[in-house]
Amino acid sequence: MADTISRERRSYNMSRIRGKDTEPELVLRKFVFSLGHRYRLHGKNLPGKPDIIFPSKKKAIFMHGCFWHQHENCSVSHQPKSNLDYWMPKLKRTIERDKEHIKALKKLGWKTLVIWECEVETLQKMEGRILRFLGPSKNT
């Protein structure tokens, strides 16, 4: 449906205009901060530039948009239904790059966690995954 595509493209443009500090990322950051783990933003020297990194733990979190990274079995994400020649190679490249980045990080001794945008909306699920990844809060 042409309307779906233009909506996706519109929200993509919007998020580009707002820059790196898109809202789900802020929610994620706020939660990680509340746990008391020391983190840095945007690991610029690391493969894939993870959104949040924990240098002392060698752990990195990616926040992925469900459409752009084609979150499987996701209610927010969906495959484009038109302009397939445009979308499919583009989305496929993104997914391949994601895999390469995670592999490259692993080689460097880093552990990675991918948080999907839709998970931020179900906060408890996201919090559980992050706690398992990082270990318990340092504030309690």
What value, to the nearest 5°, has the Cα angle with vertex 119 and ends 136 and 84?
A: 145
**What does the alpha-carbon distance between residue 44 and residue 40 come to, in Å, rounded to a whole number?**
10
Residue 38 or 99: which CB sits closer to Zn ion? Answer: 99
**Sole window of 17-25, 99-107, 113-121, 129-137 interacting with Zn ion (rule: CB under 5 A):** 113-121
Residue 23 or 34: which CB sits closer to Zn ion? Answer: 23
Residue 32, interface with Zn ion (CB under 5 A)?
no
Q: Are 40 and 53 in contact (CB under 8 A)?
A: yes
Residue 53 or 66: which CB sits closer to Zn ion? Answer: 66
Sign of CA dihedral 125, 100, 40, 26: negative
Compose the 48-77 pattern: x for residues touching Zn ion by CB under 5 A, - for all others.
Answer: ------------------x----x--x-x-
Written as one letter, the residue type at 9 is R
**What does the alpha-carbon distance between residue 119 and residue 6 come to, in Å, rounded to a whole number?**
24
Is residue 100 helix, strand or coil? helix
Residue 99 or 106: which CB sits closer to Zn ion? Answer: 99
Least Å distance between CB 66 and Zn ion?
Answer: 3
Give the binding site for Zn ion (CB under 5 A): 66, 71, 74, 76, 116, 118
